[in-house]
Amino acid sequence: MFSILQAAGWPIWPLVACSVLALALVIDRFINLKTAKVAPPKLLNEVLSVTRTSVPGPDVINQLIKSSALGEVLGSGLRTINSNPRCSEEELRSSMEYTGRMVAHRLERHLSALATIASAAPLMGLFGTVVGMIEIFGSQAPGVSTGNNPAQLAHGISVALYNTAFGLIVAIPSLIFWRYFRAQVDEYLLNLELAAERLLRHLISLRK
């Protein structure tokens, strides 16, 4: 592997750094976008069941907020109505929307960096290709036939091809994982929005 990196020349090292960063971002998103950490399937029904007759106390709400992203959104609504039982529907909605925006920002963290790597890696590979082509033509002095420096010619070709290939190797998985995480986050945000709206209607009906 190291011999391949040596053959690819110095332009390969920024791509290696991008590959390491992309791998770290993918692992981070896999860990932090688990369903149990974002939107546990049974959490909404449990909250609706607990609040069937009254709003729970601060300790229960704090545990709910710490449990998951969905719990954070739902807990913000419960905390608002717990601190001000006469709050309006707009105040309750604004509280959950504000928390939802913070949660959305946290879920989308690092996705833009992964998308940037997916876009930049082919260009970095192209840059390495250009450097390899410059070495190829630079090795041919004026008036000298192309066959007089085969080692330099082969090195220039290897730099060009290795960088092109490595740029695509980095870009393609990064793009695939970015699209996967983007779709996953969009689905989570939709579920959080629907759950918050359902809890809002439940709390409003509870006061009637």
Write the pLDDT tens digit of every residue in 40-67. 999 999 999 988 888 888 899 999 999 9
- Residue 146 pLDDT > 50: no
Q: Please count the other Cβ atoms lying within 10 Å of the Cβ belonging to residue 81.
A: 21
* Single pTM value for the model: 0.83
**Cα(31)–Cα(50) distance, integer angstroms:** 29
Tell me how far apart the alpha carbons of residues 163 and 35 are, in angstroms, rounded to a whole number. Answer: 38
Instruction: Give percent of the chain above pLDDT 90.
Output: 57
Residue 181: pLDDT band (50, 70, 90) is very high
Q: What per-residue confidence (pLDDT) applies to 152?
A: 67
| Residue 116: how many other CB atoms lie within 10 Å | 15
Res. 133 pLDDT band, cuts 50 70 90: confident
Question: Residue 196: which residues within 8 A CB-CB, separation 6 or more?
Answer: 73, 74, 77, 96, 97, 100
Q: Are 178 and 114 in contact (CB under 8 A)?
A: yes
Per the prediction, the chain carries an average pLDDT of 87
pLDDT of residue 38: 94
Give the residue, 4 or 72, on which the prediction is more confident. Answer: 72
Alpha-carbon distances of 134 from 14, 34, 147, 152, 155, rounded to whole Å: 19, 47, 17, 11, 11
Question: What pLDDT is attached to residue 163?
Answer: 84
Q: At what angle do helices 69-83 and 89-107 cross, to 10 degrees?
A: 160
Q: What is the pLDDT of residue 40?
A: 93
Query: Given this model, what pLDDT does residue 131 score?
Result: 81
Across the range 114-127, mean pLDDT stands at 92
Q: What is the mean pLDDT of residues 117-139?
A: 84
Q: How far apart are the C-alpha atoms of 144 and 128, rounded to whole Å?
A: 25
Q: Which residues contact 68 (CB under 8 A, 6 or more apart)?
A: 36, 37, 38, 39, 40, 43
Rounded CA separation 83/77 (Å): 10
* pLDDT higher than threshold 90 for residue 106: yes
